Chains A and B, each alone.
Chain A
Amino acid sequence: MTELFVILIATVLVNNFVLVRFLGLCPFMGVSRNLEAAAGMSLATGFVLTLSSATAYLLHEYVLVPLELEYLRTITFILVIAASVQFTEIMVRRVSPLLDQVLGIYIPLIATNCAVLGVALLNVQQSTGFVQSVFYGLGAAGGFALVLVMFAAIRERLDAADIPAPFRGTAIALMTAGIMSLAFIGFSGMARL
């Protein structure tokens, strides 16, 4: 139990995939213009992250390792991720047409989100069991959601702020991301995986 909690803390805060490992920066910049889209995007990405890190672990442990095909890890995981993204798209369309309208074009982009592949790869390198790897994916999803929603909220505030002309738009967004990243460095050393 404690171990699972440590995994969660480690992935959400200490080794946050976006702000500390710098994975998945494209949705972080691209889908953070407004809070609703950001929240939906983090839900969808979280679903894919958890699903794909679990399936990736199972495939790695019970198919690739017994057949001594570990070198096929990356391509297999890409396959798994593409399939789970497609599955998520079908699910979202069936379950919530409204969310589908908001996220429609962003969902296929999850497939190219490097955080998803990164989490799957890092996961099989260090995780020790199925439950742990599910929590690893869950934590990564939580961390991604946390920073994406926070960043979107800040950017919504920034829209109303009086920003000097040269800094408007992407420039101030990048600076904000940098400052947030600095803040998250403050967690380093709190938990170790």
Chain B
Amino acid sequence: MWIAVVTIAVIALIAGLALSFASRKLPSDPADLVEQINDLLPQTQCAQCGYAGCRPYAAAIANDHEAINLCPPGGDDTLRRLATLLGKDVIPLAEAPPEGHAVAVIDESLCIGCMHCRTACPVDAIVGAQQLMHTVIEQECTGCKLCIAPCPVDCISMRTV
């Protein structure tokens, strides 16, 4: 009987040790780091970094050593937090796009108040109500251009400030 008990115990012990070894020694979880970086990014999904959205950019930072200074909407704050998280030096933001810091501007004489751009704005920088014209809060706008495509009357343009 004791042989049986000891055998089972030894098999369980070996399985447990193998599992704990596997969970510790396998390459550390990249998903966790991607999550953490993703949490720091502004979630504007503006793609100005050259990736399809914030999460792909986070994955590129975590896995492919992409530069951390490609996020204009996040600005210096995000850059500093990313640098702290990853133990990198704070570097200036990558060159602003050629048009400088762009903001969206709504041509209020053309606006029909359809709300499409307000729904699309990731940072709630567009105010306005149904059937009333909308406008952009300049300080809040990150220049992500996501409001341009949904506008049915093409009254939104980008302007450098």
Contact = CB atoms under 8 A, between A and B. Distances in A.
A79 B11 contact: yes
Contact of A90 (B7, B8, B22, B31): B22
Interface residues of A, number: 20
B31 A86 contact: no
A25 interface: no
A155 to B, nearest CB: 30
A90 B19 contact: yes
B22 A69 contact: no
Interface string A80-105: 10110011001101100100100000
Contact of A76 (B8, B19, B27): B8
A80 B27 CA distance: 24
Contact of A83 (B3, B8, B18): B18
B30 interface: yes
A95 to B, nearest CB: 9
B interface, size bucket? 10 to 19
A59 B15 CA distance: 12
Contacts of A79: 8, 11-12, 15
A111 B78 CA distance: 43
Given A69-B4, A76-B11, A97 B19 contact: no
A69 B4 CA distance: 7
Contacts of B19: 83, 86-87, 90
B26 interface: yes
Interface of A: 59, 63-64, 67, 69, 72, 75-76, 79-80, 82-83, 86-87, 90-91, 93-94, 97, 100
Closest 5 CB pairs of A and B: A83-B15, A97-B31, A94-B26, A90-B23, A90-B22
